[in-house]
A and B are shown apart, each in its own frame.
Chain A
Amino acid sequence: MQTYAPLYAEAALLTLRIGSCGILLSAAVGIFCSGVLYYRVPVLKGIVSAYVELSRNTPLLVQLFFLYFGLPKIGIRLSAEMCGVIGLTFLGGSYMTEAFRSSLEAVEKIQYESAMSLGMNNVQVFRYVIFPQALATAVPSVVANIVFLLKETSVFSGIALADLMYVAKDLIGLYYQTGEALLMLVIAYLVMLLPVSLLGSVLERRLRYAGFGN
């Protein structure tokens, strides 16, 4: 087992690297798209809704296959890592959009009016008043999304990325030590994800305390 540990560590780093890029981009996509939905921006709103439905109702593996095997057919060739990041962002963006959208709508409308009455424009109201309040309510679902997306990286092995799943399958194929390989796989995921979950609940308590609780 000890000899394989470095392999897992390396794979975990790859998972974390692609995962964190994908998650950060997902959050950015989510913030933008939820803003579009919240303000009912004409045209863009339709595009965002279509994207959310498409992305949430197709599996990540299929999306990755499309990027990795489909796009080269029309002359766009992306590295496996790039496909991983884009695929994860494509999937995560819609989940983040929904998490932020429901939290935005949970902020009372009169808060918006009160900010408007101070002469703020739509962007200022969103940035200074509505979004910070929504963020505090969104933390639990955003953390759940982060954990979900990190777990979803396990399908990356399907496009030949040497992630955790890939290493485990490799070791099983090479040495037939199924039990050990899978046990280490579970441990590797737990080591990665438990801190995220714990950090999430700490953050949730902090934000709630600072913002609300009235």
Chain B
Amino acid sequence: MSGDKLSPLPAFSRPGLSRTTTTLTTRDILVQAKKNTVLKSHGRPPWYGEDGHRISDAFVIGIAGGSASGKTHVARRIVQALGSIPTVVIMSQDSFYKKHTEEQVRLAHQSRFDFDHPEAIDMESFASCLSDLKACRQTNIPIYSFTEHQRLDKTKYLYGAAIIITEGILALHDPALRALYDLKIFVQCDSDLMLARRIKRDVTERGRSVDGILEQYLRYVKPAYDHFVQPTSRYANIIVPGSDNAVAIDIISTHIRRQLDERATQLRQRLAGTGPRHLVAHGSPDISSETLNLTLLPQTPQVKGILTILRDAETNRGDFIFFTDRLATLLVEKATEELPYRAKTVITPVGVEAHGKQVDVPHLCGVSILRSGGPLERGLRRVINNIPIGSMLIQSEATSGEPLLLHLQLPVCIRQRHLAENTYAFLVDAQIGSGAAAFMAIRVLLDHGVPQDHIIFVTFLVARCGGISMLQRAFPDVKIVCGAVDDHLREMWLECEEGEDEQPTEGRKVWVVEPGMGHIGDRYYL
């Protein structure tokens, strides 16, 4: 691993993931402040309460101003000044140029297409993407190519930003967009300065000729600025100078930070009394599996025997893997009974009709909560041919035990909202103890538009008195299929483990299910 400092997943090295420290420096963030990318400084903490509903919308900032007035610079400075923030996206109006006709593309290549007119922008799509992101849903924004002067067929998937900054000359023009902003900024800059910057940028970055730039400027850019851009400055909450604006940015970031702090306080209050410590008190060992509303795998002699082998501390790794795969296969087979079926008639090779059934599901996928969901993946693949399997890495923070979403890679049938609404998802994790990771994972799927009753959670073990009760109160329609229900959930301090680099790491708090199977991920992988 020497020299490989680009690993985006800090979780396996078990650092003290704390809210006050960032794994990226502010310099890194500035360098990485690409547009249309969700930037992360550390994992995303919960954005929902114990009822499963999200606490607040994302914070949306709109930045308008003339071309080359310094909007992107202001956006990046704000991101930098905010320092430690979980997730930010800078979205550019340029992505939303309409799909052009061949004639328009030809004109554009001759610099005779008016890119500065509001008509050039697909405001409807802009507002709908922003509205999705603000409501913590996923969105897929269009991609516009300046070299081809055309909207591409591909789209860019975005999800999970706590702060959204949109910038563009007409960012404050459309009333539907303005209604979405929590803060409206106009960057004011002298016309001659803007023109000078524009010439420099278009020559070096976009390979245009000075004559072409000037012609376009006089024909389109300047009139559009005077007619459409400059007038929108009256909608701004704050007008920022286009240069030497350090003080203004400081004021803005202080304001944003205060707004975010208020939301965080609200979130903490809503979560108070529901931390993992308190989850345990919610249930008692006499809750029966029936009241828990779980589908428990029939406890046949073979299932009991497999569970005995998996629970035995003496079982070697080879046996552990083999019997884990076997149990996972049985669990996923059981889980497929939860899918809807419709009648189907086929002709057999003997030449007669056979009346049977067919799975009635437009899209089916798996989503694995890493790392412990991994041991269920072979079962998924054995039962559903070529199933797409997405993943989420959710780790608990060492000190508070709060879950953090560190990584998300979802199948296309969930990324696209119109598909997600018809998708059934097998969400897999080795066990439900405190339930915090399961809770977050379900919230992510719901944010994407997967209906609650299309989510089937498949797991080896459920702790009867753990977070399962709260999970089911929040998401009563999510189905849970498990191999066994255990009586206890115990808080334990994992002592200083020796890391790979022989550096003893500090201990961390964990919840163990008892009698349980030990740490299933470790026994399967290490």
Do these two chains really belong together in a complex?
no
User: Footprint of A on B, CB under 8 Å?
Assistant: none
A interface, CB within 8 angstroms of B? none
